[in-house]
Structures are given as C-alpha cells and as structure tokens.
Amino acid sequence: MKGMTEEAPEEIKERVKELREELRKHEYQYYVRDNPLISDAEYDSLLQELKELEEEYPALKDPNSPTVRVGGEPRDEFTKVEHSQEMLSLGNAFSPEDLRAFADRIKRRLGKDEEFNYVVEHKIDGLALILRYQAGELVLGATRGDGRTGEDVTANVRTIPAVPLKLKREVDIEIRGEAFMPREKFISLNERRLSRGEEPFANPRNAAAGSIRQLDPGIAARRPLSFLAYDVIQALEYSCSSHLEALKLLAELGFKVNWHEQAGDIETVIALCQDWVKRQQELEHDIDGMVVKVNQLDLRPLLGATSKSPRWAVAFKFPAQQKTTRVKDIKISLGRTGVLTPTAELEPVEVDGSTVSRATLHNEDEINRKDVRIGDKVLIQKAGDIIPEVVKVIKEERTGQEKKFEFPESCPACGEPVFRDPEEAVYRCLNSTCPAVVRESILHFVSRDAMNIEGVGPALIDRLLEQDLIENQADLFFLEESDLIQLERMAEKSARNVLEAIEESKSRPLARVIFALGIRHVGLRTARLLTDKFGSLARIREAGREELEEIAEIGPVIAESIVNYFATPRNNRLLARLKEAEVTMESKSRQQSLTLEGYKFVLTGQLENFTRQEAAAEIEKRGGRVTASVSSQTDYLVRGESPGSKLQQARQEGTKILTEEDFLQLLTKED
C-alpha cells in the first residue's frame, strides 16, 4: 500500500485529526452524557473512514485512536504492574447501628472540634480498575489484583466506550473506577451465548471481570461493558481539598462519574442508604450497596487505616439474598494458627449467582446459639455477598431425626487434646507439629500475598509432606531436582520450574517474608509497619512489647503475639533455617531515613506549600506520627493560616509550635 512507504499528505493528517475529534465528541455525548447527536449508522460511517485511512497510512496510527475500540492483537499473558498507592478493601456495615458506630469511631479519632461531612456513592457490582493518563492520553489500565500489584489490561480497557482515550485537558492523572455490564445487555449477551451452545455467565459481575481478563482484546471489544469513575488517586496539576472536588474534576475531564450525594451527618447517610435499598432496581446496572466516605481529603491520613481497610470509608451492604437448604453434615477444619472451625456441609443451592455447598458455623458458641443440628433445614445467605453463613434454623421443619453436633475434645488431625482460652470463642490445637497446622502454615507461606511461589500448591505440598521431603516452610528451599522427580506426575521440566520459583522467592521484600511466617494477628499491613520501623527480622526479635506498641496501629494484643512468636524455640529454628537458605532477612532499601521517628505531630490551619494530607505524608515517611488532637504526648504543632483551637491547646500543654517555615526547615535539616 502506498501509505506504507510515503508520508501522509497534510490534508490526510488533518482529516484523520478531524475524524478522531469528531468521534471522541460523539462517544462522550453517547456514553457519558447519554445524549447522542448522530445515529449509529452515521457514527459507524465516520469510524470506518478513519479505520481505512489508518490502514492506508500506518504511520498515522495512534494507541488511543477511536479505532482501538474494536480490539487489537491477542496477548500471550498479562504483565504485572505495581500500583502507585495500595488499594485496600472497604470494611462493611450491615445496619444503621453499624453506620452510627462508623461515625462514632471517626469522631473519637478526630476530636470534637474537627468538622467534617460525608459523600455517599453507589457500590457498583463490577470490576475495579485503575486508569493512568499522561498529558491527557490513556497509558495504563490495570486491575486491583492483590491491592499492591495488578494486571496490565490496557488493551482491553481501551475497548470500553465509556473510558476516555483522550481527556479534555492534557493532564497527568491516575483515577479509579468500576467496569460493569448493564443488566439488559448482560441478559442479551447470555441469550446469544445460549443460542451458540455456550455456557451463560452467572451474573453481570462475573461477565465484566471475565471480559476484562480476556487475552484477546477483540473478545473484550464485543462485550457490552461500561465504566464509571469514582476516585482521583493522583493529579499532578490539581489539588483537591475534598472528595466532591475530585469527582467534579473527573466530570470536567470527560469521565462518566458514579452517582453521589453529600451528607452532613450520619442520619442523612442512613436515610440515603435505606432509600437506595428500595430503589436499586431503578438503575441500569447492579449495585450491592453504598459507599460512605469522609469528604475532607486532609482528614484521611489522620484517620489512617487498619491492616485491611481505610478508617475514613465504609461499605453499607444491601440485605443479602437468602435461600433454604439442608445441613448434611458438620465437619471440622484446622487453620494455620491451630483454630478448629466447624463448617456445615449443605445440599447445594444457588445463591446470588453461585452454587453454595458449605457454610461456616464459626465456633461452638455459634452452633449452640443457633442450635444447628445435622439434618436441619436452614436459611443461608452470603455474608457481605462473599462468605456463605447459616442465618437461622427452620425448627418447624424438624422431624426428630436431626443430630446434635458434639465438638471434639481432641484434634481430628493429630489426636492431641484441644484447648479453649476462656477469653476466646474458639478451640485450638496447641501441637505445633500437628500435620494439619503444618500443612496450612506452608500453604500460607507460599500463597500469593506471602512468598508467592508459583507451582507450589496444595497438591504438591501434600505429596512433599507424605514423602517426608519437607517438615516445614524452610525445607522448601533445600529441595533438589532428584527429590521432585521421584514424585508422581512430576517431569524434569516441571521440577526445574518449581525450583526456579522457590529460588526466586528468596528475594521477596521483608514485609512479605514477615507476613509469610504466619504470626498471629500480623497481616500484610502490620508486616509493612514492622519493616518500616525496624528494618530487619533481628531487630523485630529484639523489640519488647512497649517498643512494638509505639507503632501506630499496633496494640497490646498484636505486640504480645509478636513477642510470643519470637520467644518460641521452634520458630527461631525455622528463622535460622530460612536465614541459612538466604531468604530476605533485612529490608533492601528505605525510601527515607526515619529522622522523625518517635515524634508526634498535630497540624492546624491552612498551609501554603502543603495540603494537610501532603504534610502528614512527609512526616509519616520520616517515621513521625500525625494525630488529630493535642495532648501531653504531642511533640510539635505545625500551624498554618487561620489555626483552630488546637493552637491554644498546644500553648497550654507547652507543645513546641512550628510555623510552616520552621516545618520546612525541620524537613530539610532532617533529610
């Protein structure tokens, strides 16, 4: 073709530019504004003209041209991408009382003088995406993944018509939103699949997630996906002081923004949530609840987060779908901490688009409180739409043949007596060599969020334990190819792949190693806090309870658990073996020297060079801690223009008061 070798004439370049601008305008009007200005046939004609010109003059092709909506070349696999900020899961609220408790926690942490309000949004039942733009051009679309690392699905994201390929301004910005499938289009898609003899999707959420994770963008392009934006992660050219401002910015840039409404107090929030319980079917897409967020962005770092969830937001979950079924049996399973968990084996039943055949019964007290018996007819639901649970027993259906469940006095895996702490609701097997506990500990160690050793799953671990090739996690690092080849269904290539994956895992970051150890109460976030504070396993082992409790978010229970772990000889033998295998024992690098470690700060007033959120981040990455109110423990109060009552409180406490200039000098000097 002539365009392959010669540069396109200026009039062709200009026509291509005009077509792209025209098509983007009509995409915005149709998919964002719901106000089409031309017919589908007219749009298709313009798109076809652009496609033909790009094919004739390949040098004019653009990764964000409207023609990419039809898909591109299939990919072999998705590459991993690190998120610029960790994506935590939201905590759940199921009742007005839960929402009021959420509000009370915020007030306690901020103090009575801090004013704030809320933004309430729909909780879209789809797939969360992170979109990154440079100079207004889409450069990355990624899935949430494990919260820190997702999959690069840019080629598929570009096929979603409601995702702007080029923003209305040339900005560098990263945002979050939800890809979803409208309800009617989901029904039509399933009808087409059935007509072709294909399996229908269980629900719109699964259909959306399955479409985004197709290796062939052409398949994603044929799926009727849409997108709603709901959060700004980073915007270099803009500084938003509130979540409402961030949502307004998203709309101005060309995004279709999730429904939202401001609420001045928690009772207004509750009224909105209860209203949408009744109105959810009015929407074109599924929602499974409402999201409640603190509107003021500078308060979020002060509120902080738990190991799993931000404290400034909560998801109000709609009442779950409930179904009846029968309890066939009750079985006991063991976790890595030795907890015995009873699980009801059920006659399979469809709930919220998936088949449920098991439901947790939590503990002995729960079984007794609900009086669950083998053979009972029960009402079940998915708690938080995820974990199946028994809601109640339908006692009117009892025949007299039902059997009471007796909690075992000895561990079903090793036969040792089980123990129940009077302050806990669970029974534990205290035998550290119990085969079930060892197995679960190793499974946790190799899991994705921990050491992420690909190819080492339950089946292989069972075979390694059966053949006495391993006794604990550390033994994995001393396996040889000859050990693996002797196992059933293990070829030489598979054995080499496993050994390479094990070898690669030795260099995992220290936080992942700490989490992989399975210390009770220590999740991945707590592991990162320990890494930031101490920098090595040796220093953590030396730390006492008081030193551990100095870390924000680590209280007496977690501190005691950490101290007890390192006081156990068996655990120290395991650590020595891991060190011998050259697994990471120290933090590889630290972004900032922790020069403000141990100091507590309070911020008040309007700063010129920082938002309060940015100032808090500068303090925290140097090891300092920002609190919401002044106390005798406060070291510094940083004051800006128009300070509040905290300034007077600081003077009364004798707290050192810093102007913004003093604060900048402190940061510069400490660096």
Catalytic residues: 123
Instruction: Please name the amino acid found at residue 382.
Output: K
Sign of the torsion formed by the C-alpha atoms of 315, 319, 325 and 329: positive
CA–CA dist 374, 378 (Å, integer): 10
Q: Hey, which residues does 404 pair with through a beta bridge? A: 373
> For 103, which DSSP code?
H
- CA 214, 219, 221, 224 dihedral sign is negative
CB neighbours (10 Å) of residue 194? 11
Q: Which two tokens stand for residue 332?
A: 């006991």
Q: Could you count the other beta carbons within 10 Å of the beta carbon of residue 72?
A: 17
Q: Are 66 and 53 in contact (CB under 8 A)?
A: no
Amino acid residing at 42? E
Q: Which two tokens stand for residue 129?
A: 């995406």
As a 3-state breakdown, the chain gives helix, strand, coil percent values, each rounded to 5, of: 40, 20, 40
- CA-CA distance, 615 to 663, in Å (whole number)? 9
Q: Is the Cβ–Cβ distance between 670 and 622 less than 8 Å? A: yes
Residue 23's nearest CA partner among 229, 161, 225 is 161
Backbone angles phi, psi at 32, to 5 degrees: -105, -50
Neighbours of 381 (CB within 10 A): 20
Rounded to whole angstroms, what are the CA distances from 83 to 63, 145, 196, 233? 22, 9, 39, 10
End-to-end CA distance of the chain: 60
Strands (DSSP E) contained in 361-466 are 373-374, 377-383, 387-393, 403-404, 418-420, 427-429
In terms of residues, how long is the chain?
671
Furthest CA-CA distance within the chain: 88
In this structure, what DSSP letter does residue 609 have?
A: S
- In Å, what is the CA distance from 84 to each residue of 57, 175, 193, 208, 603? 37, 11, 38, 24, 25
